[in-house]
Amino acid sequence: MRDLDVSEITKNVKEMCIEANIFMEEDMKEAIYKAYDTESSEVGRSVLAQLKENMKIAENERIPVCQDTGMAVVFLDVGQDVHFTGGDITEAVNEGIRQGYTEGYLRKSIVSDPFQRENSGDNTPAVIHFNIVPGDRVIITLAPKGFGSENTSRIFMLKPSDGIEGVKKAVIDTVTEAGPNACPPFVVGVGIGGDFEKCAIMAKKALTRHAGIKGSLGSLEKELLDRINESGIGPAGLGGSVTALAVKIETFPTHIAGLPVAVCMCCHANRHKQRSL
Q: Over the stretch 151-181, which tens digit does the pLDDT of each residue have?
A: 999 999 999 999 999 999 999 999 999 999 9
Nearest to 39 by CA among 226, 229, 266: 229
* 203 found inside a domain: yes
Element spanning 163, H or E: helix 163-178
Beta-ladder partners of 264? 189
Q: What is the dihedral of CA 192, 195, 197, 198, to 10 degrees?
A: -50
- Maximum distance among all Cα pairs of the chain, rounded to whole angstroms: 58
CA distance 80 to 136: 6
* 118 found inside a domain: yes
141 and 160 part of one domain: no
Q: Which of 145, 172, 194 is the last residue of a domain?
A: 145
CA distance 118 to 24: 30
176 and 269 part of one domain: yes
Instruction: Give the residue-averaged pLDDT of 110-126.
Output: 96
Nearest to 62 by CA among 13, 104, 109, 101: 104
User: Is the confidence at residue 80, as pLDDT, over 80?
Assistant: yes
Q: Which of 89, 121, 145 is the last residue of a domain?
A: 145
**181 CB neighbour count, 10 Å cutoff:** 13
Task: Identify the pLDDT of residue 170.
Answer: 97
Task: Identify the pLDDT of residue 215.
Answer: 77
Number of domains in the chain: 2
* 194 found inside a domain: yes
Q: Over the stretch 258-277, which tens digit does the pLDDT of each residue have?
A: 999 999 999 999 999 999 99
Task: Identify the pLDDT of residue 263.
Answer: 98
Q: Over the stretch 195-236, which tens digit does the pLDDT of each residue have?
A: 999 999 999 999 999 877 787 898 999 999 999 999 999 999
203 and 270 part of one domain: yes
Given the DSSP bridges, would you call strands 71-79 and 244-254 parallel, antiparallel or unpaired? unpaired
Task: Identify the pLDDT of residue 191.
Answer: 97
Q: Which domain holds residue 245?
A: 147-276
